[in-house]
Chains A and B, each alone.
Chain A
Amino acid sequence: MKTGKKRVLSILQNGLLAIYAIFALFPLVWMLILSFKSDTEMFTTTFVFHPTLSNYTEVLMNSDYFRYMLDSLIVSGGAVLISVLAGVPAAYALARYDFKKKEDIAFQILSFKFAPEILVVLPLFMIYQKLGLYDTYFGLIWVYQLISMPLLIWVVRGYFEDISVEIEHAAQVDGYSWYQIFFKMLLPLIKPGLVSAALLAFIFAWNSFTFPLMLGGINVQPITVAVTKYLGTDTAHYGQLAVAATVSALPAIIFALCIQKHLVRGLSFGAVKG
């Protein structure tokens, strides 16, 4: 009786997940299909067609695609790296220490993330031109901090706060230095939060559009700005756009796969604290 009920419940739950998965994944599958279609078959066929690699060769071989990708990698990767280096200690300080204006400082950092981009971008454009930061990797990595840093600090801070102070005290009593405690004990404990936050920060930086559009251009041109180029201007090449979009998602996907053990770890392994 009870197992029957459980079974129905399980089927129901798996079913619901499957429905959501179709909604979330079908557009991606469809995009993948488009990327293998020639312009002539683009709209006259659905699932049965003559697959072609011409879109791939056109985008990947006959254009600067990999240059755009590399720019994206440098800028987004650099941004996340700096966010982690500067953000994790900051998150720790904001979690552990009690100091004047602490909440104000924390909120201040956060509020940058919510600054409307178009409000920031024009003055920033003028300042960047004066400082020589316009169209440079450094300039973009800096402005990307607005995207990645607040997210990272706020997610990681929560994880630090979840860790009981007694663990630290006990380790101190055992003679471990603060650095040892931080790197050997605390970091492993916040890892699930840190990797998810870093992944999200990377994705957001990668997908950022307004900043690279306005503050980059000739020397630095990330893929988000470049990707709509592939739509073309004589006829709309949706197949090439699909290739450009699909391939541009790969770094984030690879990133996600690399940290998948943190993402898929079940509840049973999750009890690391307390």
Chain B
Amino acid sequence: MKKRALAITMSAVMAASMFASVGVSAEEGSEFDWKAYEGTTLNVMFNEHTYADAVIAKLPEFEELTGIKVEYSTTPEANYFDKLNTALSSRSGQPDIFMTGAYQTWEYAPAGYMEPLDAYIEDATKTSPDYNYDDFIPGIINALRWDLVPGHAVGEGELWALPMGWEINTLTYNKKIFEEKGITPPTTTQELYDAAVALKEFGGSGTYGLAVRGLRDWGTIHPAYMSLFATWGAKDFEVEDGKLVCKLDSPEAIEMTDYWVKLIKDGGAPQWSTYGWELCGADLGAGKAAMMWDADRGGYTQNVEGASAEAGNLAFAGIPLPEGKTEQLSNLWTWAMGMNADSKNKDAAWYFLQYFTSPDFMLYSGTEGACTDTPRTSVMESEEYKAIVGQAEGYLESFETVSANASIFFTPQPYFFECTTMWAETLQDLVISDTYESTEEAMQTLAANLTELVSDLEVE
């Protein structure tokens, strides 16, 4: 389970180009004392993910280098945060380290569960000279910074976690189906709509144009929908008179949502409202969906030989642009690791964090470890990385175009999950029921509800 077909393919490609060892070598930072916390035991909570697998694979080397013992648990994503919330709220100091996303830090950091990391990075006695913080891609590392003021964008304030990998959201399409039907990859939203409609039942009942998520949770909002929402020029919240005000009823937001609803109704999956990333990927891989707009990783992994029926037929396009827009803005997601503010072994925990986000480890995880979206520039520019990732048609190109402007386009505030769940519920109502007369009415109701929900937040 741990490495899967993807990793096997990669190791084969890499065998020629790789050096003898990809692990972190202790000798390089010889002045730095890795053994300072020998004998400590750390407790780590992972979400079940390829990123975690890469870390787990290298745990023995870390334990040998530092003499720190690591105990860990991995929990499937559907329940991971329930478990983490419970553990953090008990304030027992366990786990010392945990995996988190950027959105979660908006809850955890104000609650005082997260240890700010800048002081550790700047302390030369605590951080190895090889660490090279500036090597992190600014857009990604900044997504994990926040000054704890609701309404203030990410990028300012303390650093709350260090990235393991990240995802941008772009269009993946099946070039075989596109050729058969004589359709070219869409570059505008109008073309996307036309293509999705033209591809409705392209291969009989159950086949359709575009796969996107539709479940009643935040996962529906943050990938494709939020990327287009931002590209369209819409905003979720703005600060007015010291209060957060929801802007989902702005003309851009309504126009964009109206387009999205029509797109799904006319060219989306028949059972869209039950779709998470698994079913989106399954339909794309099985050749039932001609396009998917989701995390780039999702399309990438379906394209690896042996991973799906359509492997090898998938190609990548960027984000289709609405009329009058020129900038492709992808909302980004990052898996990161943070430190429990109640940890009783903070310095040892910092050793863990810096080891597993170091350039050497990231090179391993970005190539052999199958975490294709590396947060470090040095890895992205390495030949090993390009050799592997460059095989997928258009992947590197769209990755480079889109990643230049990728950021988190949500307004940071601790009610993020409640807001996006209500948002997804409204989308579902618009697509499959007649609860609302118009998109405008729906978005106005939603905006009013969300403004009310966040009204107790102090924006100072």
Contact for B74 among A122, A229, A236, CB less than 8 A: A229
What is the bound-complex CA distance between A232 and B277, given in angstroms? 11
Give the residue name and chain of the A residue nearest to B44 (CB). Answer: A218
Known contacts A44-B309, A214-B82, A218-B72: does B90 contact A233 (CB below 8 Å)? Answer: no
* B83 and A217 form a contact (CB under 8 A): yes
CB pair A213–B83 under 8 Å, yes or no, is: yes
CA gap between A235 and B1 in the complex, in Å? 12
Contact A234 B82 (CB under 8 A): no
- Measured between C-beta atoms, what is the minimum distance from B181 to chain A in Å? 19
Knowing A62-B2, A229-B74, A230-B1, the reply to whether A43 touches B301 (Cβ < 8 A) is: no
A197 to B4, CA, bound (A): 41
Q: Is A75 an interface residue (CB 8 A)?
A: no
With both beta carbons as reference points, the residue of chain B lying nearest to A241 in the complex is identified as: B278
Asked if A41 and B309 sit within 8 Å, CB to CB, the answer is yes
Given known contacts A41-B309, A236-B281, is B86 in contact with A217 (CB within 8 Å)? no
Q: Is A189 an interface residue (CB 8 A)?
A: no
Nearest-neighbour CB distance to chain B for A130, whole angstroms, equals 9
Query: Across the interface, do A234 and B301 meet the contact criterion of CB distance under 8 Å?
Result: yes
* Contact A225 to B301, CB < 8 A, known contacts A62-B2, A233-B49: no
Give 1 or 0 for each of B66-91: 1 = CB within 8 Å of chain A CB.
00000111111111001100100010
A98 to B212, CA, bound (A): 64
A201 CB–B CB distance under 8 Å: no
Cα A42 to Cα B279 in complex, Å, equals 12
Chain A residues within 8 Å of B79, by CB? 213, 225
A59 at the interface (CB under 8 A from B): yes
Residue of A nearest to B300 (CB): A234
Partner of A59, one of B1, B72, B92, B281: B1
Stretch at the interface among B131-139, B246-254, B284-292, B359-367: B284-292
Which residues of chain A are within 8 angstroms of B74 by Cβ–Cβ distance? 229
Q: Is the CB of B302 within 8 A of A231?
A: no
Give complex CA distance A238, B283 in Å: 13
Bound CA span A39–B50, Å: 18
B311 at the binding interface (Cβ < 8 Å): yes
Q: Are B4 and A232 in contact (CB under 8 A)?
A: yes
B297 within 8 A of A: yes
B369 to chain A, nearest CB (A): 12
In this complex, how many residues of chain B approach chain A with their Cβ under 8 Å: the count is: 43
Q: Which residue of A lies closest to B302 (CB)?
A: A235
Chain A residues with CB below 8 A from B13, complex form = none
| In contact, A225 and B75 (Cβ under 8 angstroms) | yes
> Which residues from chain B contact A58 at a C-beta distance below 8 Å?
1, 4
> Could you tell me if A218 and B73 are in contact, using CB atoms closer than 8 angstroms?
yes
Please tell me which one of the listed residues B1, B75, B76, B307 contacts residue A240 in the complex, with CB atoms under 8 A apart. Answer: B1
Chain A residue at minimal CB-CB distance from B2: A62
CA gap between A125 and B89 in the complex, in Å: 10
Q: How far is the CA of A261 from the CA of B83 in the complex (A)?
A: 42
Contact of A235 among B78, B281, B287 (CB under 8 A): B281
Are A231's CB and B278's CB within 8 A? yes
Contact A217 B48 (CB under 8 A): no
The interface bits of chain B over 41-55 (1 if a CB of A lies within 8 angstroms of the residue's CB, else 0) are: 001010011100000
Least CB distance, A245 to chain B, in whole angstroms: 13
Contact with A along B261-294 (1 / 0, CB 8 A): 0000000000000000111011001111000000
Residues of B within 8 A of A38 (CB): 306
**Interface size of A as a range:** 20 to 34
B378 close to A (CB within 8 Å): no
Our pick among B45, B86, B286 for the contact of A122 (Cβ within 8 Å) is B86
Given contacts A39-B306, A40-B311, A218-B72, contact A236 B86 (CB under 8 A): no
**B308 CB within 8 Å of chain A:** yes
Query: What is the CB-to-nearest-CB distance from A228 to chain B, in angstroms, rounded to a whole number?
Result: 4
* Chain A proximity of B435: nearest CB distance (Å): 29
Cβ of A145 under 8 Å from chain B: no
Give CA–CA (A237, B286) in the complex, Å: 13
> Which residues from A are CB-within-8-Å of B370?
234
Q: Are A40 and B306 in contact (CB under 8 A)?
A: yes
Q: A200-241 interface mask toward B, CB cutoff 8 Å, 1 = contact, 0 = none?
A: 000000000000011001100100010011111111111010
A63 at interface, CB cutoff 8 A: yes
> Considering only CB atoms, which chain A residue lies closest to B297 in the complex?
A234
Residue numbers in B under 8 Å from A231 (CB-CB):
76, 278
With A39-B306, A63-B1, A125-B86 in contact, is A228–B76 under 8 Å at CB?
yes
- Quote the shortest CB–CB distance from A213 to chain B (angstroms): 5
User: Inside 8 A of A232's CB, which chain B residues have their CB?
Assistant: 1, 4
Query: For the complex, what is the distance from the CA of A62 to the CA of B53, rounded to whole Å?
Result: 13
User: With A58-B1, A218-B71, A234-B4 given, is the CB distance from A40 to B308 under 8 Å?
Assistant: yes
Contacts of B49 on A, CB cut-off 8 Å? Answer: 233
Partner of B282, one of A42, A125, A228: A42
Chain B residues in 8 Å Cβ range of A225 = 75-76, 79
Given contacts A43-B309, A44-B286, A234-B297, contact A229 B278 (CB under 8 A): no
Q: Which residues of chain A in 235-266 are interfacial with respect to chain B, using CB atoms and an 8 Å cutoff?
A: 235-238, 240
- Contacting B at CB under 8 A, from A104-159, are 121-122, 125-126, 129
Question: Of residues B1, B308, B311, which shows the largest number of chain A Cβ atoms within 10 Å of its Cβ?
Answer: B1
Q: For the complex, what is the distance from the CA of A238 to the CA of B281, rounded to whole Å?
A: 12
Please, how many angstroms separate the alpha-carbon atoms of A238 and B301 in the complex?
Answer: 15
How far, in Å, is B450 (CB) from chain A's closest CB?
Answer: 26
Residue in A44, A63, A217, A240 whose beta carbon sits within 8 Å of that of B73 in the complex:
A217
B78 touches A43 (CB 8 A): no
Tell me if B341 is interfacial: C-beta within 8 Å of chain A: no
The minimal Cβ–Cβ distance linking A239 to chain B, given in whole angstroms, is 11
Q: Could you list 18 examples of A-B contacts with CB < 8 Å? A: A39-B285, A40-B309, A42-B309, A43-B288, A129-B92, A213-B75, A213-B83, A218-B43, A218-B73, A229-B48, A233-B48, A234-B301, A235-B285, A235-B301, A235-B308, A236-B281, A237-B1, A240-B1
Given A40-B311, A235-B285, A236-B282, 16 extra CB contacts under 8 A: A39-B307, A40-B307, A40-B309, A41-B309, A43-B282, A43-B309, A125-B90, A213-B82, A213-B83, A217-B83, A221-B73, A225-B76, A233-B48, A233-B49, A235-B281, A235-B308
For the complex of A and B, 5 pairs with smallest distance between CB atoms:
A43-B286, A236-B278, A234-B301, A228-B76, A217-B73
